[in-house]
Structure 1
Amino acid sequence: MERLICTGKEGDFLVIGGQEFNHLKALRVKKGDRLEVFCEGRLFLSILLSIEKGYALCKPLEEINIPLPKPEVNLYQCIPLELRLMEEVIDRASQTGANLLIPLVCKRGFQKLSVVEEKLERWKKLSLASFKQCKRPKPMEIGRPIRLYELEAKEEVSLVLDNFSAEADIKSLDLTKRSYGVLVGPEGGLSIEEVETLKSKGFKPLFLRPYVLRMEMAGAVATALIMNLAGKS
Structure 2
Amino acid sequence: MRVPRLYVNQPLASGVDCALDKRALDHAVKVLRLRAGDPLCLFNGQGGEFAAMLVRDASGGLLAQVGEFGPDRRESPLSVRLVQGISRGERMDYTLQKAVELGVTDIVPVVTERTVLRLAGERAERRLAHWHGVVLAACEQSGRTRVPGVAQPCALSDHLTDYRAAAGAGIGLLLDSTAPDALTDLGPLAGPVNVLIGPEGGLSAAERQAAQAAGYRPVRMGPRILRTETAAVVALAVLQALAGDLGGRQGKVGPDR
**Residue 21, structure 1, aligned to residue 25, structure 2:** yes
The answer to whether residue 233 in structure 2 is matched with residue 220 in structure 1 is yes
In structure 1, C-alpha distance between the alignment counterparts of 2:33 and 2:86, rounded to whole Å:
38
The alpha carbon displacement at 1:91 in A equals 0.9
For residues 48-93 of structure 1, give each alpha carbon's deviation from its aligned partner in whole angstroms, at most 9, with x where no partner exists: 222788952112123332053111111000112x244211111111
Per-residue CA deviations over 1:165-224 (Å, capped at 9, x if unaligned) read: 232112221423221110110111111111011101110111111311111121121111
Distance 1:189 1:62, change over 3 A: same
* Correspondence for 2:254: none
Give 1:38 shift: 2.5
Change (3 A) 1:194 1:8: closer
TM-score (norm 1): 0.86
Q: 2:10 & 2:187 partners in 1: Cα distance?
A: 44
The 1-side partners of 2:112 and 2:183 are apart by 25
Match of residue 42 from structure 2: 37
Aligned residue for 1:176, secondary structure, equals: coil
Identity rate of aligned residues, in percent? 27
The Cα of 1:124 is off from its aligned counterpart by 0.3
Indicate the larger mover: 196-205 or 143-152: 143-152
Match 1:188 to one of 201, 221, 240: 201
Equivalences, count = 229
Q: Using a 3 Å threshold, how does the CA distance of structure 1 residues 18 and 146 change in structure 2: closer, same or farther?
A: same
Q: Is contact 1:21–1:54 with CA below 8 Å preserved after alignment?
A: no
Task: Give the aligned residue type for 1:196.
Answer: Q
Find out whether 1:48 has 2:48 as its counterpart. no
* Aligned with residue 76 of structure 2, among 57, 69, 72: 69
Please name the residue that 2:136 is paired with.
128
* Structure with more strand by fraction: 1
- 1:104-132 per-residue CA deviation (whole Å, 9 max, x = no partner) reads 01111134343333311111011000111
* Distance change >3 Å, CA 23–CA 150, structure 1 → 2: closer
Who is 1:211 aligned against?
224
Label 1:54 to 1:123 Cα distance change in 2 as closer, same or farther (>3 A). farther
**Aligned mates of 1:193, 1:78 — CA distance in 2:** 15
Which residue in the other structure is 2:145 paired with?
A: 137
* Alpha-carbon RMSD: 2.7
Structure 2 Cα separation of the partners of residues 57 and 167 of structure 1:
56
2:18 is paired with a residue whose SS is strand
1:92·1:220 contact (CA, 8 Å) conserved in 2?
yes
Q: Unaligned 5+ residue runs, structure 2?
A: 246-257
Mean CA deviation greater in 147-156 or 217-226: 147-156
For residue 160 of structure 1, what is the aligned residue in structure 2? 174
Q: Which residue of 1 aligns with 2:102?
A: 96
Structure 1, unaligned stretches of length 5 or more? none
Q: CA deviation at 1:19?
A: 4.7
Decide whether aligned partners of structure 1 residues 177 and 30 sit closer, same or farther in structure 2, where only a CA change above 3 A counts.
same
Aligned residue identity for 1:59: Q
The amino acid that maps onto 1:206 is V
